[in-house]
């Protein structure tokens, strides 16, 4: 139960999940966080008060008479001279704000700070929650308490960093190479990452992390923020000359996008913040937090076959039923029909927006295929891209006013597509009704929901207002409505691969499509850094054909399957082209994943920090430490041959583990002797984490799969 706190001189200590957050309520107009990180135990009120005093800066020569503080919403009126937490105006006037605490409600792990700027006509609620996993969640509600409109330019959550946080990690990329890591020092000034694409984008950073120099997965103090929002956003890391360092995140608002009339409220997206001694601990907190949600997917994740790389637009009932037969035979549990099923859709230049089954391709409708798939014991899924439209479509011809634009001309096209204005009530209702009819008329358990282009000039018509914010809100409402109408429906977030992966979309979807590339060599990096936020059971990872569609690389089944094994397994392959032996090999990998999927959906993801960058060691350790699956991938030629010893982190140090190689298709490499321990060796978790064991002698782009089972 929340209780009111005397905010004149209080120090608040929020604790949960191994995390402490200490707020100095008397720091300025608003409270300041003086510690966010390791649990401090249960210090007395006097010790907490002294902790707050010890963090207060002194006045210096040439500085302000009252030094500015990094408060929950840093403001210029409080002496803050770096990036403000709030910016706005009333038709060019009232640009400065002076929000001050009016009350605080708090319990052991959360607090709501009430604030007001009576003269400026603003009121705010700042919410802080430390969850059972030790994640800090925060958001801000701003209300226009004045008589005239208030134009909001920027409002973001701001969190402090420890003084020794000197190195930034974020991600960038492009289509087929999402979430590539990049590092740089945190120097004086701001490091700003923005998305202006109407979606996070393939080049966006899923999280912004700052830590001690050289921090890795296994060690090094690191703090990070991720934003639960699926549109334009801004994240920044900043260091000031006054010794303050910070992380901040919030929605990036386009000019005039949010104008609050008297009494109206804007609420920031949730900022999800985590910390750890190494990225494994940091990401583990986020995974645990997601898994604690009441609506988190808990039934066994179905093995999925998607038809895109098998048939592309060549839809034919006989061919697809044959593919479904092969899919069921290898253990697939969900069959997804991809692009090409709807009106006029023979390629990607036409038909998008006309969500009716094409009677030419499907003269008897989708029913025969759905019935065949369901008769094989598999769920049926369908690809849709509801937010997009081809100009060559009945929808665009009948309702050109439903297309986003800021001028008379349409925005520059992408993939021959324009974007629907979901914030238009008529467009929203039309789309909802079409999708609802599809789901009502067919036994569809799953939608692959795609979003294949960035937004440009996203307005509600010539000379109108920007619509990105309203469009994201409308998207969330549409997803919520469909899920309420069709209990049990699951939705995948796909966006030309992994261009819409964020904690906002994951509140309403059941997995993400990590990337359009299924090249396992590329996927190693993409899945590693997507996994900083997304746990394995929500991370789509499919087997691919021997010649990879996106890169042309020739890969083995062992490499493809081994990399996909530590995610939500699926298949993207024309199985009708395989002989019985090939199908048996795939079936053995599917069976292996199905045996371990419960552990993969609840365990802790670990990565080894190795000196040899040509070797990748990662795995999932069961929540109780009783077993683990680990892959060792030789990405490129090693400096050692045969392989050097590799460490396996994250195990229970005091338990002994029986380690065996576990590959359904394990063949000896000509010219080399068998690995002496391949049939099994027993070592303690401490030994495996510190000393390690000799890696198999792998050639470049080969993978070994290990199973570890605790014996004590």
Residues that are catalytic: 450, 516
Q: Which of 20, 36, 19 is nearest to 70 (CA)?
A: 36
Residue 230 backbone dihedrals phi, psi, to 5 degrees: -110, 15
Residue 452 class from Cβ within 10 Å (0-12 exposed, 13-18 middle, 19+ buried)? buried
User: Mapping DSSP to helix (H, G, I), strand (E, B) and coil, where does residue 310 land?
Assistant: helix
Q: How far apart are CA 455 and CA 470, in angstroms?
A: 13
Residues contacting residue 485 through CB under 8 Å, at least 6 positions apart: 436, 439
Q: How far apart are CA 38 and CA 623, in angstroms?
A: 21
Q: Measure the N-to-C terminal CA separation of the chain; round to a whole number of Å.
A: 43
∠ at Cα 668 (664, 674), nearest 5°? 110
Q: How far apart are CA 636 and CA 486, in angstroms?
A: 47
H-state helical runs in 520-603 = 520-530, 557-564, 580-600
Residues contacting residue 189 through CB under 8 Å, at least 6 positions apart: 238, 239
Q: Which of 634, 598, 599 is nearest to 616 (CA)?
A: 634
Q: Which of 469, 90, 466, 106 is nearest to 266 (CA)?
A: 469
Determine what percent of the chain falls in helix, strand and coil, rounding each to the nearest 5: 20, 30, 45
Hey, what's the torsion of the CAs at 278, 284, 287, 288, to 10 degrees?
-140
- Side by side, the strands of the sheet bearing 702-710 are 604-607, 615-621, 627-634, 702-710, 656-661, 681-684
∠ at Cα 384 (381, 389), nearest 5°? 170
Q: How far apart are CA 582 and CA 555, in angstroms?
A: 14
Q: What DSSP line would sit under 384-426, residue for residue?
A: E-TTEE-SSSHHHHH-GGGB-BSSSSPPPPBTTBEEB-TTSHH
Q: The dihedral of CA 370, 371, 376, 379: what is its sign? A: positive
User: For 278-425, where are the E strands, in sequence order?
Assistant: 304-306, 334-337, 379-384, 388-389, 418-419
Task: With beta carbons less than 8 A apart as the criterion, state whether 648 and 688 touch.
Answer: yes
Task: With beta carbons less than 8 A apart as the criterion, state whether 683 and 648 touch.
Answer: no
User: Mapping DSSP to helix (H, G, I), strand (E, B) and coil, where does residue 438 land?
Assistant: helix
Residues contacting residue 249 through CB under 8 Å, at least 6 positions apart: 156, 157, 208, 225, 226, 227, 233, 234, 235, 236, 271
């Amino acid at each position: 139960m929340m209780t009111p706190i005397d905010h004149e001189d209080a120090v608040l200590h929020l604790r949960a999940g191994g995390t402490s957050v200490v707020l100095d309520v008397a720091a300025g107009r608003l409270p300041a966080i003086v510690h966010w990180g390791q649990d401090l135990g249960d210090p007395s009120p006097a010790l907490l008060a002294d902790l707050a005093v010890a963090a207060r800066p002194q006045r210096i020569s040439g500085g302000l008479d009252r030094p500015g503080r990094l408060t929950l919403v840093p403001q210029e009126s409080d002496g803050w001279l770096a990036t403000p937490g709030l910016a706005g105006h009333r038709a060019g006037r009232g640009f400065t704000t002076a929000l001050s605490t009016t009350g605080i409600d708090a319990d052991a792990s959360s607090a709501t700070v009430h604030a007001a700027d009576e003269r400026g006509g603003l009121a705010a609620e700042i919410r802080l929650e430390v969850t059972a996993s030790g994640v800090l969640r925060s958001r801000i509600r701003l209300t226009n308490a004045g008589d005239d409109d208030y134009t909001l330019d920027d409002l973001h959550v701001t969190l402090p960093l420890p003084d020794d946080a000197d190195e930034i990690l974020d991600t960038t990329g492009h289509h087929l190479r999402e979430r590539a890591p990049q590092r740089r020092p945190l120097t004086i000034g701001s490091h700003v990452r923005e998305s202006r694409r109407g979606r996070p984008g393939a080049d966006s950073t899923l999280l912004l992390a700052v830590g001690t120099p050289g921090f890795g997965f296994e060690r090094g103090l690191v703090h990070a923020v991720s934003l639960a929002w699926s549109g334009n956003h801004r994240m920044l890391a900043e260091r000031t000359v006054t010794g303050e360092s910070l992380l901040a995140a919030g929605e990036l608002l386009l000019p005039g996008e949010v104008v609050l009339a008297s009494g109206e409220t804007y609420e920031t997206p949730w900022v999800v913040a985590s910390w750890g001694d190494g990225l494994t601990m940091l990401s583990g907190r986020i995974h645990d937090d997601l898994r604690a949600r009441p609506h988190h997917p808990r039934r066994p994740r179905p093995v999925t076959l998607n038809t895109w790389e098998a048939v592309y637009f060549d839809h034919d009932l006989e061919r697809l039923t044959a593919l479904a037969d092969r899919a069921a035979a290898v253990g697939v549990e969900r069959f997804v029909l991809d692009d090409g099923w709807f009106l006029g859709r023979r390629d990607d230049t036409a038909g998008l927006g006309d969500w009716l089954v094409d009677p030419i391709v499907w003269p008897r409708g989708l029913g025969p295929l759905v019935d065949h798939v369901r008769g094989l014991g598999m769920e049926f899924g369908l690809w849709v891209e509801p937010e997009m439209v081809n100009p060559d479509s009945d929808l665009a011809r009948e309702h050109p006013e439903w297309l986003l634009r800021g001028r008379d001309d349409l925005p520059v096209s992408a993939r021959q597509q324009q974007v629907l204005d979901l914030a238009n009530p008529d467009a929203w209702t039309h789309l909802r009704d079409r999708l609802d009819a599809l789901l009502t008329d067919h036994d569809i358990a799953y939608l692959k929901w795609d979003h294949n282009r960035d937004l440009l000039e996203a307005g509600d018509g010539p000379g109108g207002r920007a619509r990105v914010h309203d469009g994201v809100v409308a998207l969330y409402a549409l997803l919520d409505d469909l899920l309420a109408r069709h209990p049990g429906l699951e939705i995948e977030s796909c966006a030309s691969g992994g261009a819409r992966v964020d904690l906002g979309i994951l509140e309403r979807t059941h997995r993400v499509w990590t990337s359009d590339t299924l090249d396992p060599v590329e996927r190693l990096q993409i899945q590693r850094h997507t996994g900083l936020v997304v746990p394995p059971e929500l991370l789509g990872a499919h087997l691919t054909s021997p010649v990879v569609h996106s890169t042309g690389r020739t890969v083995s089944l062992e490499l493809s399957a081994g990399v996909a094994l530590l995610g939500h397994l699926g298949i993207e392959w024309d199985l009708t082209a395989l002989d019985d032996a090939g199908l048996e090999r795939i079936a053995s990998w599917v069976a292996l994943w199905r045996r371990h999927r419960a552990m993969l959906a609840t365990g802790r993801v670990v990565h080894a920090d190795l000196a040899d960058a040509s070797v990748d060691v990662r795995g999932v350790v069961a929540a109780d430490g009783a077993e683990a699956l680990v892959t060792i991938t030789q990405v490129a030629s090693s400096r050692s041959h045969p392989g050097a010893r590799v460490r396996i982190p994250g195990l229970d140090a005091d338990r002994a583990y029986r380690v065996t190689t576990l590959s359904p298709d394990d063949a000896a490499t000509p010219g080399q002797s068998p690995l002496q321990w391949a049939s099994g060796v027993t070592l303690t978790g401490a030994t495996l984490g510190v000393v390690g064991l000799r890696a198999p002698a792998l050639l470049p782009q080969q993978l070994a799969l290990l199973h570890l089972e605790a014996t004590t």
